[in-house]
Amino acid sequence: SGKEKWPRGDETVWKTNMRGVDADIGDITKSVVNHVQTSLARQAYNLDNLGAYQAAALSVRDNMLVNWNETQLHYTRKAPKRAYYLSLEFLMGRTLDNALLNLDLKSQYKDGINQLGFSLEDLLEEERDAALGNGGLGRLAACYLDSSASQDLPVWGYGLRYKYGIFQQLISPEGNQLEAPDPWLDNQNPWELPRIDVNYEVRFYGQSERLSEGHGRALWTGGQEVLAVAYDVMIPGCHTRNTNNLRLWESKPKRGFDLNSFNAGNYEGAVESSNSAAAITSVLYPNDHTTFGKELRLKQQYFWTAASLADIIRRFKNLGKSINEFPDYVAIQLNDTHPTLAIPELMRILIDEEDLDWNFAWQIVTNVFFFTNHTVLPEALEKWPVPLMEHILPRHMQIIYDINMIFLQAVEKKFPGDRERLARMSLIEEGFPKQVRMANLACIGSRRINGVAELHSQLVQTTILKDFVEFFGVSKFGNVTNGITPRRWLDQCNPELSKLISSTLKIDKSVWLKDLYKLKGLVKYAEEKGFRAEWAAIKQRNKERLAHHIETTLGFTVNTNAMFDVQIKRLHEYKRQTLNILGVIHRYLELKAMTPAQRKKVNPKVVFFAGKAAPAYYIAKLTIRLIVNVARVINADPETKDYLSLYFLPDYSVSLAEVLIPASDISQHISTAGTEASGTSNMKFCLNGGLLVGTVDGANIEIAEEVGEENVFFFGHLTPAVEDLRYQHMYHPVPVDEACPALANVLNQISGGLFGDGGVYEPLVNTIRQGDYYLVTDDFDSYIRALAMVDEAYLDRDEWVKKSICTTANMGKFSSDRAIMDYAQEYWNLEPIPVGKD
């Protein structure tokens, strides 16, 4: 009650017993040992690395909790506008190292752990990745959480606590990808706090009965109710006490089992509903850029948006404000269309539960939501069959029809008689079955819409949402170029480079890591020989670190005197790993045709691939198989192996990326122009001084603008040419042998069996011979020329290192701090709320 005195009891007793925020080593060893004894119930005499890691993690968590509590209290007292980032994916990776760095406790813990007879480096390796995402979209969400906390912004993430994250990738002896489950929670997860008391009931199925004429209230009853239980993950900011929250929902049966069935002797039936409830958050869907229309996926989406909205509304109501002020206190960012059901769900709450009228409710809704589109690939645009939606969410389907009718009336008014326009803009696509177009719904239900790089945002406005730009006006549409957190992607993954930067600029890293434009100061040192030598030596040691990792995990000895050329990303035809592997084969054939004396002049190169293929994506899996088998042949060829070798590293992950990226001399971002919305690993490589080989696509373009075109290796056709080329492939096909003899030669070698049974690869080879939708043939010669220019540039090592330094120095724009502040200012209207500063 309001009159009660807080804290209860003796305030000084509370205060003297409260844990402070500054820990010294004595505190650290004490707290680690305490966790060994009491949290883990173990002792010094039988403690392995895993146990020591868990105790260290729990100890670090205590530090975060102090800040977390303080932050939440501070936000509650200040009652600022808050933003919520709804994402079905958060690809967090490991937490311990990141937390130690953000809390500025790494050296203290290193010493403390040492005193206890363990090495921090070893303990860090014990942690499993939190891999609740597929690729770039999920990792972007993780970077944005880090930046929100680091910039003191009151932002929470909302997602799902999948029991199994992205599958583990195994490679069979034949080179096939095999999938195994990712039981990441098996060893307990010290980074999450179960909040059994924070839970909501979420309904599925049942009946919706309209209670009035027009667009008024309805009563949704029956069906199945599932419980959403909160798990909180603390997100520490960098060198600030602000510690934000990522709330992940777990599904649970509302009742443990059905007593009626149980009493009737039907034991299996008794737990059936509990099984189906738990299934909702059991597994992350492993598809990137494709939708499958699966019932369970739709249930995931609704379960998560309903629980998150209920939670957001409850927090808002605690402010005691009237509901029409909701948009002044809440902004909700929709990470792609996956959370679009939040739009009809908020309408349902406002109309059916808050009893607002339609127009008033719609006014609120369209001022709360913001929508980011992450791809223009047609196969990625979400559509849900109307019958499925009607079955699972009958009330939402009514609301979607209502939204659609009112919207299309407005379109008709603005563009009278334009039937085709109405058909294109409708939320419902005609057909068998009819489908709900989620991008259209997200677009009309949001205040603003953005793409993720300049080119992509332009493409969104001129292709998939063109009609909507014409209807709403262009000011509703914008761009926020993606960013990456320099904490993980420089300081954490490349500590030596980070140290060199701080000592050279004479700026503490806590400053430049939060103002990345400060890196510009490095440009002038590119002219200093001694600095260049140190820069190059760090790159070399990072290559050796990677080689050591590969040696210990896979048993291969990697040539660290070679140039390291890396392509790591999801396997997809549009990303064109095919172009890369065909280029490798081309290089191999050239080497074979040389004399030993000629070969000696060649720039030795090691090519690395890593990435997962969606389990049902046949061509992507076949590409992996080809890479693995080309590697087997090339790496075993005594004539060429010193000049060219190739590795496919299985089970790509955030933590593998942290070893690969700092070791790269060049990296490849070679999508067909206009297909890669942004890319974010391109930014990570360049921040670590790796040079970029790429097409004129996504964020590559803006990277070149920043670092200078002389420092990137561009090739290939431009976006406007793509449509014409595809048209020609369709209607005036030219055989590959004519269009590109060099490529034809490579394809013939594959078919001829140089890398094992050629027949196996026919379906892959045919994607190029027939149709060639991603224009491998058209870009092949230009790609080979670009790689030749890379070789030439690498010969002049001084110039190369200058390029590397200038690249890092000009990457300031690509900090996710810049991106998140852009969202805060231009979209959410949010202010930083620093903890402990007033």
By annotation, the residues acting in catalysis are 374, 569-570, 575, 680, 684
Q: Say if strands 192-204 and 224-236 run parallel, antiparallel, or are unpaired.
A: antiparallel
Q: How far is the CB of 380 from ligand GL4 (least distance, A)?
A: 5
Residue 380 within binding range of ligand GL4, rule CB under 6 A? yes
Only one of the segments 122-130, 133-141, 202-210, 413-421 lies at the binding site for ligand GL4 (rule: CB under 6 A); that segment is 133-141
Residue 587 within binding range of ligand GL4, rule CB under 6 A? no
Q: How far is the CB of 682 from ligand GL4 (least distance, A)?
A: 9
Number of H helices, E strands in the chain: 36, 24
Only one of the segments 41-49, 130-138, 153-161, 538-546 lies at the binding site for ligand GL4 (rule: CB under 6 A); that segment is 130-138
467: which 2 tokens? Answer: 């009609």
228: which 2 tokens? Answer: 């959403």
Residue keyed to tokens 């092949």: 780
Side chain identity, residue 542: N
Residue 427 within binding range of ligand GL4, rule CB under 6 A? no
Residue 140 within binding range of ligand GL4, rule CB under 6 A? yes
Residue number, 137 or 403, with CB nearest to ligand GL4: 137
CA nearest neighbour of 832 among 143, 314, 147, 64 = 147
Are the C-beta atoms of residues 134 and 89 closer than 8 Å to each other?
A: yes
| Coil, strand or helix at 185 | coil
Question: Binding residue for ligand GL4 (CB under 6 A) from 97, 127, 288, 658?
Answer: 288
Only one of the segments 112-120, 556-564, 579-587, 670-678 lies at the binding site for ligand GL4 (rule: CB under 6 A); that segment is 670-678
Residue 92 within binding range of ligand GL4, rule CB under 6 A? no
Q: How far is the CB of 459 from ligand GL4 (least distance, A)?
A: 12
Question: Binding residue for ligand GL4 (CB under 6 A) from 67, 95, 169, 678?
Answer: 678
Residue number, 654 or 677, with CB nearest to ligand GL4: 677
Question: Binding residue for ligand GL4 (CB under 6 A) from 112, 327, 679, 716?
Answer: 679
Residue number, 245 or 337, with CB nearest to ligand GL4: 337
Site string for ligand GL4, 474-503 (x = CB under 6 A): --------x---------------------
Are the C-beta atoms of residues 347 and 362 closer than 8 Å to each other?
A: yes
Round to whole Å and give the CA distance between 679 and 674.
Answer: 12
| Coil, strand or helix at 381 | coil
Question: Binding residue for ligand GL4 (CB under 6 A) from 247, 299, 374, 532?
Answer: 374
Residue number, 479 or 748, with CB nearest to ligand GL4: 479
Residue number, 82 or 139, with CB nearest to ligand GL4: 139
Residue number, 47 or 332, with CB nearest to ligand GL4: 332
Residue number, 135 or 175, with CB nearest to ligand GL4: 135
Site string for ligand GL4, 231-270 (x = CB under 6 A): ----------------------------------------
DSSP result, 115-132: HTT--HHHHHHHPPPEEE
Only one of the segments 75-83, 326-334, 372-380, 559-567 lies at the binding site for ligand GL4 (rule: CB under 6 A); that segment is 372-380
Residue keyed to tokens 């944005």: 144
Round to whole Å and give the CA distance between 312 and 316.
Answer: 6
Residue 67 within binding range of ligand GL4, rule CB under 6 A? no
Residue number, 679 or 689, with CB nearest to ligand GL4: 679
Residue number, 140 or 686, with CB nearest to ligand GL4: 140
Q: How far is the CB of 127 from ligand GL4 (least distance, A)?
A: 24
Distance (Å) of CA 621 to CA 241, 320, 581, 746: 45, 55, 14, 20
> Which residues, in sequence order, are CB contacts of 315 under 8 Å at separation 6+?
82
Round to whole Å and give the CA distance between 809 and 489.
Answer: 15
Question: Binding residue for ligand GL4 (CB under 6 A) from 35, 241, 289, 684?
Answer: 289
Residue 135 within binding range of ligand GL4, rule CB under 6 A? yes
| Coil, strand or helix at 680 | coil
> Which residues, in sequence order, are CB contacts of 818 under 8 Å at separation 6+?
483, 516, 812
Q: How far is the CB of 694 from ligand GL4 (least distance, A)?
A: 12
Please name the helix (run of DSSP H) or strand (run of DSSP E) that holds residue 225, with its range, or none. strand 224-236
Torsion from C-alpha of 667, 720, 731, 670, nearest 10 degrees: 0
Distance (Å) of CA 236 to CA 47, 77, 120, 138, 516: 28, 20, 20, 18, 19
Q: How far is the CB of 803 from ligand GL4 (least distance, A)?
A: 24
Q: How far is the CB of 120 from ligand GL4 (least distance, A)?
A: 32
Strands (E), 282-414: 330-335, 369-372, 383-385
Round to whole Å and give the CA distance between 702 and 118.
Answer: 44
Q: Give me the half-sphere count of Cα atoms (radius 13 Å) on the Cβ side of residue 495.
A: 8
Measured at CB, which residue is nearest to ligand GL4?
Answer: 136
Only one of the segments 519-527, 628-636, 677-685, 771-779 lies at the binding site for ligand GL4 (rule: CB under 6 A); that segment is 677-685
Only one of the segments 180-188, 201-209, 583-591, 678-686 lies at the binding site for ligand GL4 (rule: CB under 6 A); that segment is 678-686
Only one of the segments 110-118, 426-434, 672-680, 795-803 lies at the binding site for ligand GL4 (rule: CB under 6 A); that segment is 672-680
Residues 332-361 that bind ligand GL4 (CB under 6 A): none
Q: How far is the CB of 244 from ligand GL4 (least distance, A)?
A: 20
**Residue 433: is the preceding peptide bond cis (ω within 30°)?**
yes
Residue number, 273 or 340, with CB nearest to ligand GL4: 340
Report CA 113 to chain centroid distance, whole Å: 32
Residue 375 within binding range of ligand GL4, rule CB under 6 A? yes
Round to whole Å and give the CA distance between 479 and 438.
Answer: 20
Site string for ligand GL4, 728-767 (x = CB under 6 A): ----------------------------------------
Q: How far is the CB of 819 from ligand GL4 (least distance, A)?
A: 10
Q: How far is the CB of 621 from ligand GL4 (least distance, A)?
A: 19
Residue number, 645 or 682, with CB nearest to ligand GL4: 682
Question: Binding residue for ligand GL4 (CB under 6 A) from 103, 677, 701, 722?
Answer: 677
Round to whole Å and give the CA distance between 368 and 502.
Answer: 41
Only one of the segments 587-595, 611-619, 633-641, 676-684 lies at the binding site for ligand GL4 (rule: CB under 6 A); that segment is 676-684
121: which 2 tokens? Answer: 């480096």
Are the C-beta atoms of residues 266 and 272 closer than 8 Å to each other?
A: no
Q: Say if strands 243-253 and 224-236 run parallel, antiparallel, or are unpaired.
A: antiparallel
Residue number, 594 or 619, with CB nearest to ligand GL4: 619
Residue 452 within binding range of ligand GL4, rule CB under 6 A? yes
Q: How far is the CB of 456 from ligand GL4 (least distance, A)?
A: 8
Round to whole Å and give the CA distance between 31 and 542.
Answer: 34
Residue 105 within binding range of ligand GL4, rule CB under 6 A? no
Only one of the segments 153-161, 643-651, 671-679, 782-790 lies at the binding site for ligand GL4 (rule: CB under 6 A); that segment is 671-679
What is the torsional sign of CA 153, 366, 161, 80? positive
Residue keyed to tokens 């005499």: 45
781: which 2 tokens? Answer: 């010669």
Q: What is the DSSP letter of 772?
A: -
> Which residues, in sequence order, are CB contacts of 154 under 8 Å at separation 6+?
75, 80, 81, 82, 83, 244, 830, 833
Residue number, 676 or 817, with CB nearest to ligand GL4: 676
Distance (Å) of CA 683 to CA 28, 730, 793: 36, 35, 21
Binding residues for ligand GL4, total number by CB under 6 A:
17
Q: Say if strands 644-649 and 177-180 run parallel, antiparallel, or are unpaired.
A: unpaired
Interacting residues toward ligand GL4 by CB under 6 A: 135-137, 140, 288-289, 374-375, 380, 452, 482, 676-680, 698
